[in-house]
A and B are shown apart, each in its own frame.
Chain A
């Protein structure tokens, strides 16, 4: 019968139309500004810089290694490296970015910068609401606009942030353990040296000092690990 296909199709449309009153999955429209979909955890939009602690300047994890600037495919990151070093979150002196700008009008949200960063200093934000009348200056984010706290990171990407924090803690503990082991070895050496060889007392001191220096540069943990103290 001619027209049968059309009637079948219209029946389908009718089923969808009336079904939208009873079945939630047939009614998919979200009235955007008033109601919003829940944020998907893995979502990414633009990068931000992570800092530890409360001070966004002092706690910035970025050590200005320039890897992200080099790897960024559209080249939207601009970094100026500092001349001097500042202690980072764990007290180790590091370079820091005097200028860190991201041009989000160029950024294509590919997160390559996040992948290549060896310090977990740059992560992807989920904020998408950046309307502005100024095309240029307002979309060039500087260091202070980009800096977000670790708590914020935990809030937007809880799983990922927990994994990153665990890895960082493990790394720091391993470094601390290594430093402690080196220090213990230095102590043992210093302790072992006098009885084995009845040499003048200057020899163990000479042996221990360089080892202690080495451990201090390898892991600058706040607790002193030098052999002399014990």
Chain B
């Protein structure tokens, strides 16, 4: 066991002993750039990366196995803890999987609320990511603080709606838990009117910055082919020019009612992945404006569904959504009892992380930090 965790030649699966000029560095699991407990075993030739092996599992907590002993309702709060930055989209993917399994209809108003909260989640996830990425690249403090100032406003909206800032536990199969409280929509509209100003400000802050361009352009290039072959999804795939957004291709929920565009990158480098988040936030603002304008009155929960004692017919279902990080899917098998027979998560961050070595080879150690930041990982989801 100890050899697995010691930085040794075996842990890198090198067939031969490392040549003398190579240096082996273990970045993480307590490295501030690794977004949690993630470790990279890096082999360096001077400053250049010649080999990189990601090591994860430090935050493994048996999520899937626990889910197979909990009721369908009882799993909902656990999904919050997957990608703990955007809990509502996790709820949403799980709710869609259960709804497919049980053939449950969702009322119109609930769908709108889901879109609104889901897109707000995307805004705060991307704002967070931009702050973290810039922090990793050395823009210490200021951008992160500005991004978190906006994020905090969204979290206040979440708290006044769901009761919790981050662990919302808000969606239920067949709808949502509570209706929008009085005045919530007005607050959200007021926030949304302010938000583009933040985007402009944040763009002025660093987008044209020469140091940032030097650090991020042509660094960590992910080709379109590699993105397809490695099943990369989300903003990372779109930064490589792959036009794939599940909101468009699957048309789940009511996304086909809104007009929005899918921003695409052309180089697939860190700078593209940075910019694509700005553009996606602007598109999310458009969706939010439309959804908040059109939201109808009505019930928020399918009255035929009782969350407790929910027993779907035997069968299987795969529900997926475009989470802020990529394709988040839940695969469920029911044997007709009140707990899932099999419960499997397809986490976008883990799968986007699999190409890390390809992105980092030949770059400097300092670039590894920027590349990892641009992948947008959350360890709660990677390790589960």
Which residues of A approach B to under 8 Å, CB–CB? 2-6, 8-9, 11-13, 16, 28, 40-44, 67, 71-73, 108-112, 115-116, 124, 159
Residues on the B chain within 8 Å of A43, using CB: 159, 163-164
* Chain A residues within an 8 Å CB radius of B307: 115-116
Q: A12-B204, A42-B181 are in contact. Are A111 and B152 (CB under 8 A)?
A: no
B344 within 8 A of partner (CB): no
Pick the contact of B209: A9, A72, A124 (CB < 8 A).
A9
Q: A112–B162 contact, CB under 8 A?
A: no
Q: Decide yes or no whether B70 CB sits under 8 A from chain A.
A: yes
- B163 near A112: Cβ-Cβ < 8 Å: no
A9 near B206 with CB under 8 A, answer yes
Q: A8-B208, A42-B161, A44-B164 are in contact. List 10 more A-B contacts (CB 8 A).
A: A4-B208, A9-B205, A9-B208, A11-B204, A43-B163, A73-B74, A108-B167, A109-B164, A111-B169, A116-B73
Q: How far is the CB of B183 from chain A (nearest CB, A)?
A: 11
A124 to B212, CA, bound (A): 46
15 contacts between A and B (CB under 8 A): A5-B207, A5-B212, A8-B205, A8-B208, A9-B208, A16-B146, A42-B159, A42-B160, A71-B73, A71-B74, A73-B78, A109-B167, A111-B169, A112-B73, A116-B307
**Are A112 and B205 within 8 A (Cβ)?**
no
What is the bound-complex CA distance between A44 and B307, given in angstroms? 20
**Residues of B with C-beta under 8 A to A8:** 204-205, 208
Q: Closest 5 interchain pairs by CB?
A: A5-B208, A110-B77, A44-B163, A73-B74, A5-B209
Say yes or no: is B308 at the interface (Cβ < 8 Å to chain A). yes
A108-B167, A109-B167, A115-B307 known; A9-B161 Cβ under 8 A: no
Q: How far is the CA of A42 from the CA of B157 in the complex (A)?
A: 10
Residues of chain B within 8 A (CB-CB) of A115 are: 177, 307-308
In contact, A108 and B77 (Cβ under 8 angstroms): yes
A76: shortest Cβ distance to chain B, in Å? 12
Let me know if A124 and B77 touch, CB within 8 A.
no
Q: How many A-B residue pairs have CB under 8 A?
A: 84
Contact B74 A6 (CB under 8 A): no
Assembly CA distance A12 to B77 (angstroms) = 40
Of chain B, the residue at the smallest CB distance from A41 is B160
Chain B residues with CB under 8 Å of A73's CB are 70, 74-75, 77-78
Q: Once bound together, how far apart are the Cα atoms of A13 and B333, in whole Å?
A: 52
Q: Write the chain A residue with the least CB distance to B208.
A: A5
Give B204's nearest chain A residue, CB to CB: A12
Is B217 close to A, CB under 8 A?
A: no
Q: Within residues 151 to 179 of chain B, which ones have a CB less than 8 A from any CB in chain A?
A: 152, 156, 159-164, 167, 169, 177-178
Whether a CB of chain A sits under 8 angstroms from the CB of B218 is: no
What is the CA–CA distance of A44 and B164 in the complex, to the nearest angstrom? Answer: 7
Residues from chain A with Cβ under 8 Å of B358 in the complex:
none
Chain B residues with Cβ below 8 Å from A159 are 181
Note all chain B residues with C-beta closer than 8 A to A44. Answer: 163-164
For the complex formed, measure the closest distance between the CB of B59 and the CB atoms of chain A, giving whole angstroms.
16
B36 shortest CB reach to chain A, Å:
19
- From A118, which residue of chain B is reached at the shortest CB distance? B308
A112 / chain B contacts, CB cutoff of 8 Å: 73-74, 76-77, 169
Q: Say yes or no: B204 contacts A9, CB within 8 Å.
A: yes
Given contacts A13-B142, A108-B77, A112-B77, contact A71 B308 (CB under 8 A): yes
Bound complex: CA of A4 vs CA of B71, how far in Å? 58
Among A2, A5, A108, residue most surrounded by chain B Cβ atoms (within 10 Å)? A5
B225 within 8 Å of A (CB atoms):
no
